[in-house]
Structures are given as structure tokens and as C-alpha cells.
């Protein structure tokens, strides 16, 4: 089960992706496979990371900037939630 | 030797050595040559010598086999980026005059619907289906004697390949590269860099780009092993670093934008890339801070800045012997062997004094004869240089620069609307022309805003025809159907009017200032 924090982040990620991808035709859900979205290129990736970092106040550890993390919005949310939790315990 | 002949020679020396590794897929030199030869025979059966073959293929062993097969057949290849929208791919297919189209599993379905465009083609081929399975399943290594293609007699002036780049009119233009051009460049690279059979070379840039020419043709000429970097790995900085470490890559040639991303968004600075011994970059200026951090992360690697537009191949090189200091600008270096670089003043006279700026023009065997089907643009890009009592034709790069007191070429800027973004060359006029072709657009301007990681961000401003409304998403959709992703402005702002200068031109500086405030 997702934590509230993860659900909030997931909602934010989907909203940011909608804004960045600028394509009303793309249906985004937690399980959308981002590799099949042609406009999710390196520029979109860096904008997404920057905007989530700004919203969450947590910088994504570079070790997570790999295809697996960005497979779906749910995967991204899970990693960010973990990072936020880790930073809160410091 | 011509570029494909080098590979044939390497395959005859070591047919069992690994030529390409792509995931679990491993291809020896003998297998690569057999595959390419089979494709060459398919081409030779139906295409006259000198035909052009369009390759709409993902970066893969099949794509490299198809490049080599085309050359072995005495034809020229035209790589078409699978990430391009179909309209642009259709244009390139038509404009190039290609007689054959090679597709793969990822692109075949898109072309099946294009019956009108592909109707006149002599051959539509999937190299995996037509050639790979049969050849590569052979148990015995293929001997080179059985892989000779009868039509392989190549002339220096024959076209080897055509690379399409951004034009200024909304349509890309094809840069013709002859066998002489390619051989001059690859020959220089072979002399300059000690690439050897033990090397693992990452093929990082897309194949429709000019950087992989060095990876593929210099690498395979020396018996090295190529590791194509798939787009879905290259996009993620840590994914790429992980790939470079796992594959023990020793040679990497990439654009500064990609390398800067490794510095800022991967574990490169923590653990480096121990196997890397040669790092080459080109395509745009590398800022001192990320370059310094990069070099400190791979202190064992020799680092070179290479310079040359797609029309000339690499014409200047500079080895960095230490990480740059803060704010230091890296020289383009000295002219490579066989190339003449001249700085011209506004009157077309050669500048010989140090520190005097002018346009960089280039002459030499690696310089393209011009643009395919574009005699007027070709003519405009040429100049006759008079120097030391001699006159010779040269290519106008459109780059401004100067010779410093140490005799090193230095870059200053561009004379036209061409910019670099993420290593790609983009003519802003090309993007504007596409936006202006949208029926509801009255006026458009695209500007490039400097960015520390991507070199520049593209931002667009659009005025609709009076009485018509317009949404950014509509414009983005219009652009997506016509432009590759890197050419689509990050923002497309709809305005009632655009600011103008006193002469009535669009005030781009005002737009730049506005964008820096609105979209920092």
C-alpha cells in the first residue's frame, strides 16, 4: 500500500508530466510506461526531476537517475518518497 | 584506404574478434562482414551503383551492418532518425532521392502506411529479417574470401553518405560526404588517436549525427569492439555511467551537454569510469566548471576538444592537458593534418594577425562538396580565399573566431541564427518557418536562451491571426508532427503582438530579457 506521502508525490508527478509533455492526448496514470512516450526525452526528464525536487525540497540522489526509476510515475513517486523519508530521519 | 575497406581489412586480420556487442547480442568481425555483404548483394541485385539507400533504423548492429553493406554495394547511405516525425522522414526520403529504404521492427509499421512515398522504391528491407538470421546462425566463421562484393571499386568522389541537418527554411538539408571526405577524416583520426583492438568504444550519439563516424569507422578499422548505447540508456545519466562501467568502455565521444549531465546527475564524480582512457567531445562549447569536474573524475583519460561542422568533419583539435580553470575558455585547437583554416574579415581578406576576429573558413579533403539538391545554398556557403599568392575554394562555417597568440583557433560565436541545443544544430529560422506554416499563426519568433546544461533552451513566441484563438498545446502538436523533439521550443507563448525594433524587426533582445524574467 502506498503511503500518503507517496500518493501526494504521485499526484504531483502526474501533474508536472502533463505540463511538461504538453500533449492532452497522452493519458497518464500511475502505471503509464514513460518509455513509450516519445516526447519524454532528456529535456523532459531533467525538467521533471528539477520540478519534483523544487516541490519536495529533496534532491534526487544521482544513483536513481536510471531507466528503472523512470519506468512509470508510480516508480518515480516511490523513489522520491524514499528519499524524502530518508532526509527526514537525518 | 576508404572507410569500408579498412573494415574489410580488419575483418580479414581477425574474423573471430568481437566487432559489436549489443546487450546479449555479440557479433564478430567475420559475422559483421558476412551480414553486410549479404545486404550489399541484395542492394547490388536491384540498385545501380551510386544509388542512395535510406536507413531508418534504431542504433543497433543491424544499422551498422546496413551502413557497411551500402558502402560495399557502391551505394551511399542516408541515415534517418527514427525519432523524427513522419513528415520529416518522408521529406528526407524524397529529398535524398533514395532508391531503397531499410527499416527495422521499430520503424517498419510506420512505413507500411506510407505507400505513396515508398511506391517508387526498388527495395524495402529489414536487415534483421532478410539477412541477419541466416548469416548469424552459421556455425562456421565466415571467411573473407567468400564475402567480396564484385562492385566494390570505389572512387574518391563517390558519395559515401548524406547527413541531414537543420536548414533555415523549415526543411532539413542533406550534407553530401564523399569517400574522399570520410577517408580523410577517419585517416586523420586513426593517426591521431591510438585506437587499438583492446578498445571498447561506446557509440553514444545517434547515427544520423556525424560523431559516430569516428566511433564506427575508426573503431572497426582498428579492430576495436563497438558498444551501441541505446537511446533509452543514453537519456539517463546514471544509466549511461552504469553502462560505461559495466562495458568497460575505453573510448567515449560525446557532446558536452551529455557529458555535463553525467557530472551533475550521475555518480561519475564519486567513482569515475576506471576503464576510460580517451574522451573526445565536439559539437558545442564545454564550460570550464563541468569540464573541470569531468576531467577530475576521469584523471587517467586523455581529453580532446574536436571542432568541425557536419559539412567539414573534424578540422581542428585540441588536447586538454589539465582541467580548465574557472571561466577559462577552451581553444578549438590547431588545424588537423591536410586541412587549411583561414579567418576572413568582412571584405573576404585573410586575417593573419593574432586576436583579430573574423569568419572561420575551411578547405581540405574532408570538406563536403555541398548540399544535396541545393546548388544555391552550396554556392552561398563557399568562398574563394586568396592567401600568400594562392587562391583556393573554402567552406564558410558561419562561425566567428580568431587565432590567439599561441596559434590556437578560438571560437567567438555565430553569424546567423544557428544555435546548438543538447549538441544538436538548430537553425532558428527552420523552427520559425514550421511554426509560421501553421494556418492560424500570423507571426512567430524563436529565441535561444543560454542554459548551463543544454547549451541553450529554445523558447517560442507566437501571434495568432486576428480573430483566431490559439492554445500552446495545438502549436506543440503541430510542431511534433514536423520537427524532431530537440527542435520543439520548450515554451510556446501566445502573444497579441511581438516587440519590434525601430526598423520594424522583431526585437529578439527584448524577448530574451522577457524570457529570462518569466522562465528563469
Asked if B232 lies within 8 A of A39 by C-beta distance, the reply is no
Distance CA B395, CA A56 (A): 51
Asked if A49 lies within 8 A of B422 by C-beta distance, the reply is no
Q: What is the mean pLDDT of chain A?
A: 89
- Whether B293 maps to a domain, the answer reads no
- The answer on B499 and B390 residing in a single domain is no
- The answer on B116 and B11 residing in a single domain is yes
pLDDT in tens, A72-88: 999 999 999 999 888 87
Sketch out chain A's domains with CATH numbers. Answer: 4-88 (1.10.1200.10)
Among B121, B150, B180, the domain boundary falls at B180
Range of the domain at B401: 335-367+378-414
pLDDT at B150: 57
Asked if A24 lies within 8 A of B473 by C-beta distance, the reply is yes
Instruction: Give mean pLDDT, residues A13-42.
Output: 90
Instruction: Give mean pLDDT, residues B26-30.
Output: 97
Distance CA B374, CA B379 (A): 9
Q: Does residue A75 contact residue A64 with C-beta atoms inside 8 Å?
A: no
- The answer on B33 and B80 residing in a single domain is yes
Residues 25-84, chain A, touching B (beta carbon < 8 A): 25, 35, 38-39, 41-43, 45-47, 49, 62-67, 69-70
Using a CB-CB cut-off of 8 Å, the residues of chain A touching B422 are 42-43
- Whether B396 maps to a domain, the answer reads yes
Using a CB-CB cut-off of 8 Å, the residues of chain B touching A49 are 265
* CB nearest A66 (choices: B242, B473, B490): B242
- Whether B308 maps to a domain, the answer reads no
- The answer on B144 and B7 residing in a single domain is yes
Using a CB-CB cut-off of 8 Å, the residues of chain B touching A42 are 234-235, 261, 422
Pairing of strands B390-403, B382-387: antiparallel
- Whether B321 maps to a domain, the answer reads no
- Whether B233 maps to a domain, the answer reads no
Most B-contacting residue of A18, A62, A63, A69 (CB-CB within 10 A), to test interface? A62
- Whether B490 maps to a domain, the answer reads yes
pLDDT in tens, B197-217: 999 999 999 999 999 999 999
Asked if A39 lies within 8 A of B485 by C-beta distance, the reply is yes
pLDDT in tens, B319-362: 999 999 988 999 999 999 999 999 999 999 999 999 999 999 99
* CB nearest A66 (choices: B236, B480, B490): B236
Cell 532521392 locates to B97
- The answer on B72 and B119 residing in a single domain is yes
Distance CA B360, CA B368 (A): 16
Would you list the DSSP string of B76-132?
EEEE--TTS-HHHHHHHHHHHT-SEEEE-TTTHHHHHT-HHHHTT-SEEE-HIIIII
pLDDT at B519: 67
Among B137, B157, B180, the domain boundary falls at B180
How many inter-chain contacts (A to B, CB under 8 Å) are there? 59
Among B2-6, B205-209, B272-276, B426-430, the range scoring the smallest mean pLDDT is: B426-430
| B265 grid coordinates | 546527475
- The answer on B462 and B344 residing in a single domain is no
Task: Name the pLDDT band for B219 (thresholds 50, 70, 90).
Answer: very high
Among B180, B205, B221, the domain boundary falls at B180
Task: Name the pLDDT band for A41 (thresholds 50, 70, 90).
Answer: confident
Residue B287 burial (10 A CB sphere; 0-12, 13-18, 19+): buried
Instruction: Give mean pLDDT, residues B458-471.
Output: 89
pLDDT in tens, B231-287: 889 999 999 999 999 999 999 999 998 999 999 999 999 999 999 999 999 998 898
- The answer on B391 and B443 residing in a single domain is no
Using a CB-CB cut-off of 8 Å, the residues of chain A touching B236 are 45, 65-67, 69-70
Q: What pairs with residue B21 in β-bridges?
A: B26
Q: Find the residue in A nearest to B262 (Cα).
A: A62
Distance CA B403, CA B398 (A): 16
- The answer on B149 and B15 residing in a single domain is yes
Most A-contacting residue of B238, B241, B259, B261 (CB-CB within 10 A), to test interface? B238
Query: Residue B483 half-sphere exposure, CB side, CA atoms within 13 Å?
Result: 31
Q: Does residue B53 contact residue B43 with C-beta atoms inside 8 Å?
A: yes
- Comparing B502 with B23, the larger pLDDT belongs to B23
**Which residues, in sequence order, are CB contacts of A78 under 8 Å at separation 6+?**
A6
pLDDT in tens, B232-246: 899 999 999 999 999
**Minimal C-alpha gap between A75 and chain B (Å):** 15
What's the gap between Cα B357 and its chain centre? 27
Using a CB-CB cut-off of 8 Å, the residues of chain B touching A35 are 232
| B65 grid coordinates | 551492418
Pairing of strands B441-451, B455-464: antiparallel
Distance CA B251, CA B493 (A): 42
| A89 grid coordinates | 530521519
- The answer on B152 and B34 residing in a single domain is yes
* Domains contained in chain B, number: 3
Q: What is the CATH number of the domain that holds B433?
A: 3.30.300.30
Among B150-154, B278-282, B455-459, the range scoring the smallest mean pLDDT is: B150-154
- The answer on B8 and B140 residing in a single domain is yes
pLDDT in tens, B67-124: 999 999 999 999 999 999 999 999 999 999 999 999 998 898 889 888 888 888 887 8
Q: Which of B126-130, B182-186, B504-508 has the highest mean pLDDT?
A: B182-186
pLDDT at A23: 84
Distance CA B463, CA B495 (A): 5
Q: Does residue B35 contact residue B136 with C-beta atoms inside 8 Å?
A: yes
- Whether B281 maps to a domain, the answer reads no
Using a CB-CB cut-off of 8 Å, the residues of chain A touching B453 are 46
- The answer on B360 and B397 residing in a single domain is yes
Chain B residues with CB within 8 Å of chain A CB: 83, 232-239, 242, 261, 265-267, 422, 453-454, 472-473, 476-477, 480, 485-486, 490
| B48 grid coordinates | 545501380
Distance CA B248, CA B123 (A): 39
Asked if B473 lies within 8 A of A22 by C-beta distance, the reply is yes
Q: What is the CATH number of the domain that holds B92?
A: 3.40.50.980
- The answer on B172 and B155 residing in a single domain is yes
Residue B149 has pLDDT above 80, yes or no: no
Asked if B422 lies within 8 A of A70 by C-beta distance, the reply is no
Q: Find the residue in A nearest to B451 (Cα).
A: A43
- Whether B117 maps to a domain, the answer reads yes
ipTM, two decimals, is: 0.92
* CB nearest A70 (choices: B234, B236, B422): B236
* CB nearest A23 (choices: B265, B473, B486): B473
Amino acid at each position: 500500500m502506498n503511503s500518503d506521502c507517496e500518493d501526494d508525490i504521485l499526484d504531483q508527478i502526474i501533474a508536472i508530466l502533463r505540463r511538461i509533455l504538453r500533449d492532452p492526448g497522452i493519458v497518464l496514470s500511475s502505471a503509464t510506461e514513460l518509455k513509450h512516450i516519445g516526447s519524454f526525452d532528456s529535456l523532459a526528464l531533467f525538467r521533471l526531476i528539477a520540478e519534483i525536487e523544487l516541490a519536495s525540497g529533496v534532491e534526487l540522489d544521482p544513483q536513481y537517475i536510471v531507466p528503472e526509476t523512470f519506468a512509470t510515475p508510480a516508480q518515480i513517486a516511490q523513489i522520491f518518497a524514499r528519499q524524502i523519508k530518508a532526509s527526514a530521519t537525518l | 584506404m576508404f572507410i569500408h575497406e579498412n573494415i574489410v581489412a580488419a575483418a580479414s586480420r581477425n574474423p573471430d574478434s568481437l566487432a559489436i556487442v549489443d546487450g546479449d547480442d555479440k557479433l564478430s568481425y567475420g559475422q559483421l562482414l558476412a551480414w553486410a555483404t549479404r545486404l550489399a548483394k541484395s542492394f547490388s541485385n536491384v540498385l545501380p551503383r551510386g544509388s542512395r539507400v535510406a536507413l531508418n533504423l534504431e542504433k543497433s548492429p543491424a544499422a551498422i551492418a546496413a551502413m557497411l553493406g551500402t558502402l560495399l554495394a557502391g551505394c551511399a547511405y542516408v541515415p534517418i532518425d527514427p525519432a523524427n516525425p513522419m513528415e520529416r522522414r518522408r521529406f528526407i526520403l524524397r529529398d535524398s532521392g533514395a532508391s531503397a529504404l531499410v527499416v527495422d521492427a521499430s520503424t517498419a509499421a510506420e512505413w507500411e502506411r506510407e505507400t505513396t512515398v515508398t511506391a517508387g522504391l526498388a527495395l524495402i528491407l529489414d536487415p534483421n529479417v532478410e539477412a541477419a538470421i541466416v548469416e548469424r546462425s552459421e556455425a562456421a566463421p565466415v571467411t573473407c574470401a567468400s564475402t567480396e562484393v564484385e562492385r566494390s571499386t570505389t572512387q574518391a568522389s563517390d558519395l559515401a553518405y548524406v547527413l541531414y541537418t537543420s536548414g533555415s527554411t523549415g526543411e532539413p538539408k542533406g550534407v553530401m560526404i564523399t569517400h574522399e571526405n570520410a577517408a580523410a577524416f577517419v585517416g586523420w583520426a586513426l593517426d591521431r588517436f591510438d585506437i587499438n583492438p583492446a578498445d571498447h568504444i561506446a557509440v553514444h550519439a545517434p547515427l544520423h549525427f556525424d560523431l559516430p563516424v569516428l566511433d564506427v569507422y575508426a573503431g572497426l578499422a582498428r579492430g576495436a569492439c563497438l558498444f551501441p548505447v541505446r537511446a533509452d540508456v543514453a537519456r539517463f545519466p546514471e544509466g549511461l555511467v552504469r553502462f560505461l562501467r559495466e562495458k568497460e568502455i575505453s573510448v567515449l565521444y560525446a557532446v558536452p551537454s551529455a557529458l555535463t549531465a553525467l557530472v551533475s546527475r550521475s555518480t561519475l564524480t564519486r567513482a569515475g569510469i576506471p576503464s576510460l582512457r580517451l574522451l573526445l567531445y565536439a559539437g558545442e562549447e564545454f564550460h570550464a566548471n563541468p569540464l573541470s569536474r569531468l576531467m577530475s573524475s576521469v584523471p587517467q583519460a586523455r581529453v580532446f576538444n574536436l571542432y568541425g561542422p557536419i559539412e567539414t568533419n573534424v578540422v581542428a583539435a585540441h588536447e586538454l592537458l589539465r582541467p580548465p580553470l574557472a571561466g577559462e575558455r577552451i581553444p578549438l585547437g590547431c588545424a588537423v593534418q591536410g586541412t587549411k583554416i583561414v579567418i576572413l574579415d568582412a571584405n573576404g581578406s585573410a586575417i593573419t594577425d593574432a586576436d583579430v576576429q573574423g569568419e572561420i573558413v575551411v578547405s581540405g579533403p574532408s570538406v563536403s562538396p555541398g548540399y544535396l539538391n541545393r546548388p544555391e545554398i552550396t554556392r552561398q556557403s563557399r568562398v574563394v580565399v586568396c592567401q600568400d599568392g594562392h587562391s583556393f575554394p573554402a567552406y564558410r562555417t558561419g562561425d566567428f573566431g580568431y587565432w590567439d597568440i599561441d596559434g590556437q583557433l578560438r571560437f567567438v560565436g555565430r553569424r546567423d541564427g544557428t544555435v546548438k541545443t543538447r549538441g544538436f544544430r538548430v537553425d532558428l529560422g527552420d523552427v520559425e518557418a514550421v511554426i509560421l506554416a501553421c494556418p492560424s499563426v500570423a507571426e512567430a519568433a524563436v529565441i535561444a536562451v543560454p542554459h548551463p546544461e543544454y547549451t541553450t533552451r529554445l523558447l517560442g513566441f507566437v501571434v495568432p491571426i486576428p480573430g483566431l484563438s490559439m492554445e500552446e498545446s495545438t502549436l506543440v502538436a503541430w510542431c511534433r508532427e514536423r520537427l524532431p523533439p530537440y527542435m520543439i521550443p520548450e515554451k510556446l507563448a501566445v502573444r497579441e503582438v511581438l516587440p519590434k525594433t525601430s526598423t520594424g524587426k522583431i526585437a529578439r533582445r527584448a524577448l530574451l530579457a522577457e524570457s529570462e524574467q518569466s522562465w528563469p
